[in-house]
Amino acid sequence: MILHVDMDAFYASVEERDDPRLVGKPVVVGGTAEGRGVVAAANYVARRFGVHSAMPAVTARRLCPQAVFLPVRMRHYAEISQQIRAIFEQYTPLVEPLSLDEAFLDVTGSEHMFGSAAEIGRRIKQQILDELRLVASVGAAPNKFVAKIASDVHKPDALVLVAPSEVQAFLDPLPVGRIWGVGKVTNQVFERFGIRTIGQLRALPQETIAGLFGSSGEHYWKLAHGIDDRRVVPDREAKSISNETTFAEDIDDKESLRAWLLELVEQVGRRLRRHGLKGRTVELKVRFADFQTISRSQTLTEPTNVTDELWQAAVELLTKRLPAGHLPVRLLGMGVTGLETQPTQGLLFDDEERQKQRQLDNVADQIKERFGGGALGRASGLVHEARRKPRR
């Protein structure tokens, strides 16, 4: 069985935990009360006013003028994310992080030690609450697709078990938009054919769906039938390491996209170094407002896990390799492939700044592991921080 663990309103919940005076008030993380910047996260009180992540702060302020706006403390959230990850690894070594606030866990081999998947999910939720005073939602199911939906359907503070025999009964009533890859445009096609639920999609022959959507049709058909064969892959076993985020609203502001990309790069860099990995090829994934998805890549002269080197390659892909005049962006992802575990010889004429960045990354990771995420920050990170717009 697979668990999907998703922290509820993670950034905002951390801020409420650290300052109990915020509890019960609408809290917006990111942006400013003057309307500058972009919302990174909103607590459930603010969401009742229509505020959500990736929304311009000026819109959030108009919808909820009484909201408390707080700056993003990314290093602090990353430190707490590491503590959550440590709890996961008490129950299974098969942990696949998706971002700072969510991960898949394969607990199949752990059930004889800790009980059923539902019991493991309950224990993880309780341990996170007891030790970190934060709330997680957990979905337990036979595969990733169903587990991820299960963690989301009754948020916040959810614990939903979908047994193998219950998969179709669980999926059938849900909107067809719950299927990965079904966005606004695809949904409109389904609407024209009177298909509104996963059950209605499942009733169609596979050939009919393929006729409508081509190669994507098989993907939709499989997920409608609850078929997802992907396994949980820990970082140390992965052929690539990546992170991506889907925006609540499409983004066309270049500086916002750069800032979101920077956070993805920093997360990927930390994951590479944590497992002693380096990668040779940096990849960028972009999905536009019309759901067209493109990938761009750049192969480096030698494998690296230096955040600044990954950032330079990724931002070049973002700023120079996308189509001119492209539509607003719905999804942004960054990853590294061509992984290797053996240390590589630096170039003979490696410049001093490059060596410095590599050493700073290694020392910073060690200090953060011992003293916490806020103990040290890279000088280059401070420069980026000044121009970053936060994300969820």
Predicted confidence (pLDDT) per residue in 96-150, tens digit: 988 889 999 999 999 999 999 999 999 999 999 999 999 999 999 999 999 999 9
d(C-alpha 210, C-alpha 141), whole Å: 27
Most distant CA atoms of the chain, gap in Å: 64
Q: At 260, is the pLDDT very low, low, confident or very high (cuts 50, 70, 90)? A: confident
Report which DSSP code applies to 370: H
Q: Are residues 195 and 218 in the same domain?
A: yes
Using CB atoms within 10 Å of the CB of residue 214, give its burial: 0 to 12 exposed, 13 to 18 middle, 19+ buried.
exposed
Question: What's the CATH code of the domain at 349?
Answer: 3.30.1490.100
Would you name the residues annotated as active-site residues?
102
Q: Which residues of 236-268 are buried (b: 16+ CB within 10 A; e: fewer)?
A: eebeebbbebebeebbeeeebbbbbbbbbbbbb
Domain boundary among 116, 140, 163: 163
> Structure tokens of 144?
């990733």
261-299 residue pLDDT tens:
988 898 898 888 888 889 999 999 999 888 788 999 999
In a domain, 242, yes or no: yes
Number of folded domains that form the chain? 3
Q: Are residues 370 and 239 in the same domain?
A: yes
d(C-alpha 7, C-alpha 157), whole Å: 9
Q: Are residues 19 and 136 in the same domain?
A: yes
Confirm if 3 and 142 have CB atoms less than 8 A apart: no
Q: Are residues 76 and 184 in the same domain?
A: no
Q: Are residues 306 and 218 in the same domain?
A: no
In a domain, 230, yes or no: no
What pTM was computed for the model? 0.74
In a domain, 89, yes or no: yes
Q: Please say if the pLDDT value at position 389 is more than 60.
A: no
Q: Please say if the pLDDT value at position 303 is more than 80.
A: yes
Residue scoring higher pLDDT (285 or 247): 285
Q: Are residues 239 and 378 in the same domain?
A: yes
Q: Are residues 16 and 141 in the same domain?
A: yes
Question: What's the CATH code of the domain at 142?
Answer: 3.30.70.270
Sign of the CA dihedral running 298, 301, 306, 309:
negative
Q: Are residues 136 and 176 in the same domain?
A: no
Contacts of 181 (CB under 8 A, 6+ apart): 216, 219, 220
d(C-alpha 3, C-alpha 14), whole Å: 23
Q: Are residues 349 and 216 in the same domain?
A: no
Q: Are residues 382 and 248 in the same domain?
A: yes
In a domain, 54, yes or no: yes
Whole-number mean pLDDT of the chain? Answer: 85
Q: What separation in angstroms does the CA of 58 have from each of 49, 61, 64?
A: 14, 5, 10
205-239 residue pLDDT tens:
988 888 888 878 888 999 999 999 999 988 777 78
In a domain, 144, yes or no: yes
In a domain, 197, yes or no: yes
Q: What is the pLDDT of residue 94?
A: 95
In a domain, 392, yes or no: no
Q: At 55, is the pLDDT very low, low, confident or very high (cuts 50, 70, 90)? A: confident
In a domain, 276, yes or no: yes
- Residue 369's domain spans which residues? 235-387
324-376 residue pLDDT tens:
888 889 889 999 999 887 554 544 445 565 566 656 666 655 554 554 444 44
